[in-house]
A and B are shown apart, each in its own frame.
Chain A
């Protein structure tokens, strides 16, 4: 004889995950809708043959203990965060079936953003949303779906629009998004509506099994305890009060949705990983040995945003690094770099670098007047201030430092591109400090993004070097013991 009623296989026989002594009775109150709904979900899991690959994300609220009952992999999440947790699960396990089960406080209040954004990303998951218009677990407080004038422990005079606003209609809200493939609101008022819910749950899961996308079923559900009604009366209360505010029906169904791939990406071997990163292991090649008297140079490079100051610093840093020196490059960052000025600190040394932050530079390169004014006073005695004499008209340079006026921009313009002023500066810094060599810099300049500027940039480098040598001075750097 065929069993007509039987416990779904994906329910535990005994609730061994429960801490309580009773492993047979559920923790739900008599007449609660969760029991009906759990059974519908478990039967669907059985019939669709997905129990092994299902991951159930249980929320905070009465269904926090859903894991007592469903014998499937379970991840219990923080309040409101089930769709975010489910997203992490989904992305880690492409083959899995992810069911996120949430109540109204969890989903529509504290987790409103998480559900909205997971739906909007079209996460391949099924969300079951239990709307009973109240916080059950915490003892009957107002939910975002609490009806107008409904009394709860935090709306003792009834929910007032003037104070609490209107009940949130989640299906209507989510159905305005493009990505979701299926959104339906159902109810657990009676056997007829329960059967409709049964169908909706299966349909939602089928959409996920087919890889179509985000599916969502809202289920109006009784909370006799929270509503302070008898179980039967609570079902009648739903029909009388809830259905008109939350009309059941299909809110969205994208029959044309395309299936997503649920293939796990291939696992890469070591070489494939390095190739993907465009990197190789071990130390980069050093081309030079560093003379023992090579001093530590601490540079501040400063100018207008757009003058290529940060790039100039990187170029000098990288070039010195290739030659085997210790280097660091520290940019000014954030709004400052978008506000018209830019600067970076560069340290080049033959030994391990202490501070990458340069409060007292040995060399300041000022590409404009404000930079000169800001930093000239910080240069160490015996240091040097190199500045773009095309822009800087009045230079007040402290007497203990050497000024080196070079018209970077004029030289660059003469060579055909004002953009190459930073390369003129590179040539000058190279000649004035000896921190790096022309061949290394030339190699790097050839690899820069702007291929059309290579020729001009190389000419600029040479011109900068010559302009600096013509000054007949050199900066010493500092020797740290």
Chain B
């Protein structure tokens, strides 16, 4: 199954019953698959007039308590940011998928990871966070989408799936998890019933103190999320002298590179953040106490590396290997970067 298709399957299994989207390469299969499958489960598919309309349709459906989603690729995500900010303030659970491509501007349709800042740091206006999950295979495209709906409901917050063109386009086996049929109650939702007449979904707090209180409430929630929802994968970190950090497609290539470097006697392992926000700060900090240096590999010009440096408070040197423009690093390039790191920090 293609990664993009696995997202829709995961969404439907998680009880998502509406999809609002706009076509864009390399995310279009998500809309196409939703168009094919949503009607079969009594769900809604609308090809919206724009990315902006799509995220606002999500806002509407989420206001009614429905599990709902949209997906796009980088330029489309720029357009959705306003709506995501509204969802965050109104505390609306929803899932937003970004299959990243090359930018800035129209860029190209090759794989890139340059939406890191706009998705992980909250690309819209205001003080807020979006939980951000980064799958690196088709199975995780399905599984993390299901998890995303649970996290969204648990915390009443938008959750982003951040993948790249390759993870979206490639086909891999997927084991189908059982469907979720029991969904959480949402007493706050507007449902068009006598019992919900007093319910109000809104992101306006005209009174300064009230808005400040709402922001503090959001940040208390974010504190809980940072405590409870950090997820990451460790690969060959036993007895390592160096740690490499990557997510998405780059983490796959890095695995191969680490195998080769280990075979050449370099003790390196990988920490792969599965949640980019919340970020695995604590684990990285721990690792920084016992290693000589770190390598960050990313298909962006140095966005992930900022979070790594913050996490370890620059305790050890951190080097960057970056490819952009739709190019991705080869395993050989990463092995060379690892060798350089070793030479610099023997």
Contact = CB atoms under 8 A, between A and B. Distances in A.
B294 interface: no
Contacts of B52: 81, 84
A266 B41 CA distance: 9
Nearest to A116: B49
Contacts of B259: 354, 480-481
B172 A327 contact: yes
Q: Which of A86, A279, A282, A327 has the most CB of B within 10 A?
A: A279
Contacts of B128: none
B175 interface: yes
A121 B47 CA distance: 11
Contact of A274 (B109, B170, B179, B207): B179
Contact of B18 (A88, A321, A331): A88
A274 B176 contact: yes
B256 interface: yes
B50 interface: yes
Interface string B245-269: 0000100111111011001000000
A64 interface: yes
B166 A330 contact: yes
A333 B197 contact: no
Interface residues of B, number: 83
Contacts of A335: 109
Nearest to A64: B204
A279 B176 contact: yes
Contacts of A88: 18, 20, 56-64, 68
B83 A78 contact: yes
B37 interface: yes
Given A85-B60, A89-B60, A277-B40, A17 B200 contact: yes
Contacts of A121: 46
Contact of A333 (B59, B165, B176, B201): B165
Contacts of A352: 255
Interface string B16-41: 01101000011000000000010011
A30 interface: no
A355 B50 CA distance: 34
Given A268-B41, A330-B169, A353 B252 contact: yes
B192 A75 contact: no
A321 B191 contact: no
Nearest to A51: B197
B223 interface: no
Contacts of B200: 17, 67, 73-76
B18 A81 contact: no
B61 A282 contact: no
B141 interface: no
A314 B49 contact: no
Interface string A276-317: 110111111000000000000000000000000000001001
Nearest to B253: A355
Contacts, number: 239
Interface stretch (A93-101, A161-169, A253-261): A93-101
A19 B190 CA distance: 20
Interface in B159-215: 165-166, 169-173, 175-179, 181, 190-194, 196-207, 210
A249 to B, nearest CB: 28
Contact of B173 (A93, A321, A360): A321
Contacts of A277: 9, 12-13, 37, 40-41, 176
A250 B257 CA distance: 71
Nearest to B198: A71
Interface string B290-304: 000000000000000
Interface in A60-76: 64, 67, 71-76
Interface string B105-134: 000010000000000000000000000000
Contact of B170 (A17, A87, A268, A328): A328
A356 B166 contact: yes
B83 A87 contact: no
Given A270-B181, A329-B170, A333-B109, A76 B60 contact: no
Contact of A334 (B48, B59, B109, B201): B109
Interface string A106-131: 00000001101100010000000000
B25 A334 contact: yes
Contacts of A57: 60
Interface residues of A, number: 76
A114 B175 CA distance: 39
Contact of B63 (A85, A95, A113, A359): A85
Contacts of B58: 88
A333 B54 CA distance: 24
A473 interface: no
A265 B202 CA distance: 28
A474 interface: no
Nearest to A17: B200
B331 interface: yes
A273 interface: yes
Contacts of B172: 327-329, 353, 356
Interface string A352-392: 11111101100000000000000000000000000000000
B202 A76 contact: yes
B86 interface: yes
Given A76-B202, A354-B331, A356-B170, A117 B56 contact: no
Contacts of B147: none
A117 B176 contact: no
Given A269-B181, A317-B171, A19 B210 contact: yes
B53 A84 contact: yes
Given A17-B200, A91-B44, A85 B181 contact: no
Given A67-B202, A73-B199, A331-B169, A113 B50 contact: yes
Nearest to B168: A333
Contacts of B63: 75, 85, 88-89, 92
A108 to B, nearest CB: 16
Contacts of B82: 78
A281 B178 contact: yes
25 contacts: A19-B207, A19-B210, A51-B197, A52-B192, A73-B190, A75-B63, A77-B56, A78-B59, A86-B60, A88-B60, A91-B44, A92-B63, A93-B64, A270-B178, A314-B171, A331-B169, A333-B169, A334-B26, A353-B172, A354-B253, A355-B256, A355-B331, A357-B253, A359-B331, A360-B332
